[in-house]
């Protein structure tokens, strides 16, 4: 697909009644050359891609185009099969730029600014300040209310009901609810993941870093799903141990895991059916399906090999510092075997008419030589197994037209199992060690190890290395990177929320109580009022405001469920 966006109906750079859209700018090229030439361009993020023809530049005329501003552009013109005046320029939103092609062969001016662009990041700063002010206002109101209550009810004023209660009940009664018995840092982590997911799924303000990477690379949006999988694994370590204490049958625990997985799969298919015109178009893979399969695999392995409390006592002694790993060697071997199998299939499975071990998107990638190899072995397997029942979007914002590739397909589901197991490892640390320092140090060590291995695989670079970081492929370097940040984030949350109690976890902790409910709810209501509405003229200001409103509204719903003590679990 062309990287420039020259509208057929009206060119907003030439029509005063039209306006530029999000991430668009005007680019005027004056051709003073001796003949017409073809303008070529390509986005800088397109790795090893040939430039794409965009427009014919007539002799002696000024041609004005609409160009995208999401990524810097490589600009050139072609004459006698030779690219001339090749340059890269970072166009800014709603700016107007000029470029002169000289009469002399291959001599061009620098790209210059005609009208200054707008600051497209100002809405983010404004939204941040608004939320900070609201938090300060809320905290101030709480303090004032406490002070007023203290003044209205001094220690020497007591009513008859208070005295009667103290006479009849010498020990105070502590009210508990379902949420009061939960680990606050876990719900806070889960709430961060689900609210970020809602924000990202609704558009993320149409900012590049709040949307998924075109293929390789890492954005905030890319971390949301693996973080959710990681904290799911954390919960598995805690819940299965509790279930084993009250249940004598591991088989019953596995059956309950299977039941939950089936329900998640059915919910996932229901969510997918919203966008399907018929059963022929129903997408089988999906986020909930990926979570269901990885949950069942990891929960089953943990249930089968989990030690009882009496067996744990045997490891106390000179090796107690490593007891969380020593007692789980069987689980480690199985998970590493699954990961190794995924890696071998990725790099050794022959794919027709494609290089073995290809991990790219196809399309323009590698100068278009592998345009029909999207996703390599993973994409090939998904297209073979699912056919038309998979993610069907084939237009990539960077690499043009690619083959169907499902980011939650079979191979990616196998890959995410490792992330879930990393969450289980983190959960065991919480269970086996009782001092905050012992826990945090271990989480930080795991963060460092996974981060270093990931960096070694990708050479700490976006495109190079043995295995690039790619959320689309759920590559090994990506799942290690996601695990690295998950360990780090949870260590911080545990210290702040559970240990020091500097922060209650609000407002994220409320969303963490009902994550599946919020995910299904926001998917079913996406685009519907009052969560969203149609924008006549979309800008970063309006889109970001609407996306934040959608996320905030679901946060309010989560808080209401918390107040009603409603926790919908599967």
Which strand ranges, in their side-by-side order, compose the sheet holding 112-115?
A: 62-68, 24-31, 96-101, 112-115
Which residue out of 212, 389, 494, 522 is catalytically annotated? 212
Q: How far apart are CA 419 and CA 73, in angstroms?
A: 35
**CA-based nearest residue to 37, from 29, 45, 25:** 29
DSSP, collapsed to helix, strand or coil, labels residue 392 as coil
Cβ distance 505 to 497 under 8 Å? yes
Phi, psi of 24 (to 5 degrees): -130, 150
Asked about 212 being catalytic, the answer comes back as yes
Q: How far apart are CA 367 and CA 323, in angstroms?
A: 52
DSSP 54-87: EEEE-TT-EEEEEEE-SS-EEEEEEETTEEEEEE
Q: How far apart are CA 45 and CA 54, in angstroms?
A: 18
Pairing of strands 62-68, 96-101: unpaired
Pairing of strands 96-101, 24-31: parallel
Q: Which residues contact 416 (CB under 8 A, 6 or more apart)?
A: 225, 226, 229, 290, 294, 474, 479
Q: Which residues contact 330 (CB under 8 A, 6 or more apart)?
A: 305
Cβ distance 215 to 399 under 8 Å? yes
Distance from the Cα of residue 484 to its chain's centroid: 14
Catalytic residue positions, numbered: 212
């Amino acid at each position: 697909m062309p990287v420039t966006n020259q509208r057929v109906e009206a060119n907003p750079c030439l029509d005063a009644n039209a306006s530029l859209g999000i991430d668009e700018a005007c680019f005027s090229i004056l051709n003073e050359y001796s003949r017409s030439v073809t303008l070529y361009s390509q986005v800088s993020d397109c790795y090893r891609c040939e430039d794409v023809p965009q427009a014919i530049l007539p002799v002696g005329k000024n041609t004005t185009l609409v160009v995208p501003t999401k990524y810097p552009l490589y600009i050139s013109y072609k004459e006698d099969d030779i690219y001339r005046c090749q340059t890269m320029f970072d166009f800014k939103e709603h700016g107007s730029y000029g470029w002169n092609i000289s009469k002399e062969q291959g001599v061009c001016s620098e790209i210059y600014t005609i009208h200054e662009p707008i600051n497209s990041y100002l809405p983010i700063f404004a939204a941040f300040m608004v939320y900070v002010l609201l938090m300060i206002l809320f905290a101030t109101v709480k303090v004032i209310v406490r002070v007023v209550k203290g003044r209205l009810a001094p220690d020497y004023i007591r009513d008859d009901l208070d005295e009667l209660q103290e006479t009849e009940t010498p020990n105070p009664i502590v009210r508990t609810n379902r949420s009061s018995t939960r680990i606050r840092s876990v719900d806070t982590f889960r709430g961060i993941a689900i609210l970020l997911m809602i924000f990202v799924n609704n558009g993320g303000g149409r900012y590049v870093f709040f949307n998924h990477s075109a293929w390789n690379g890492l954005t905030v949006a890319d971390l949301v799903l693996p973080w959710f999988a990681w904290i799911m694994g954390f919960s598995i370590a805690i819940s299965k141990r509790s279930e084993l204490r009250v249940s004598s049958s591991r088989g019953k625990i596995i059956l309950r895991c299977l039941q939950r997985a089936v329900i998640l799969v059915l919910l996932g298919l229901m969510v997918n059916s919203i966008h399907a015109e018929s059963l022929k178009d129903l997408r089988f893979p999906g986020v909930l399906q990926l979570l269901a399969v990885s949950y069942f695999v990891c929960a089953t392995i943990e249930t089968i090999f989990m030690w009882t409390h009496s067996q744990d006592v045997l490891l106390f002694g000179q090796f107690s510092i490593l007891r969380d790993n020593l007692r789980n060697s069987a689980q480690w071997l199985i998970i590493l075997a699954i990961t190794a199998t995924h890696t071998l299939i990725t790099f050794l499975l022959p794919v027709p008419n494609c290089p073995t071990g290809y991990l790219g998107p196809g399309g323009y990638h590698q100068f278009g030589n592998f345009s029909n190899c999207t996703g390599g072995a993973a994409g090939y397997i998904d297209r073979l197994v699912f056919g038309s029942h998979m993610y069907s979007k084939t237009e990539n914002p960077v690499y043009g037209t690619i083959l169907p590739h499902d980011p939650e397909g079979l191979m990616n589901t196998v890959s995410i199992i490792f992330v879930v197991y990393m969450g289980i490892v983190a959960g065991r640390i919480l269970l086996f060690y009782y001092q905050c320092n012992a826990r945090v140090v271990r989480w930080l060590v795991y963060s460092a190890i996974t981060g270093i291995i990931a960096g070694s695989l990708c050479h700490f670079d976006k495109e190079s290395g043995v295995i690039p970081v790619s959320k689309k492929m759920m590559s090994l370097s990506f799942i290690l990177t996601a695990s690295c940040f998950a360990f780090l984030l949870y260590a911080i949350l545990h210290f702040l929320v559970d240990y020091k109690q500097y922060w209650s976890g609000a407002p994220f902790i409320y969303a963490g109580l009902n994550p599946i409910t919020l995910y299904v709810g926001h998917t079913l209501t996406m685009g519907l009022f009052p969560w969203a509405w149609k924008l006549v003229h979309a800008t970063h200001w309006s889109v970001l405001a609407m996306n934040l409103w959608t996320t905030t509204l679901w946060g309010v719903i989560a808080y209401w469920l918390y107040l009603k003590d409603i926790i919908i679990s599967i």
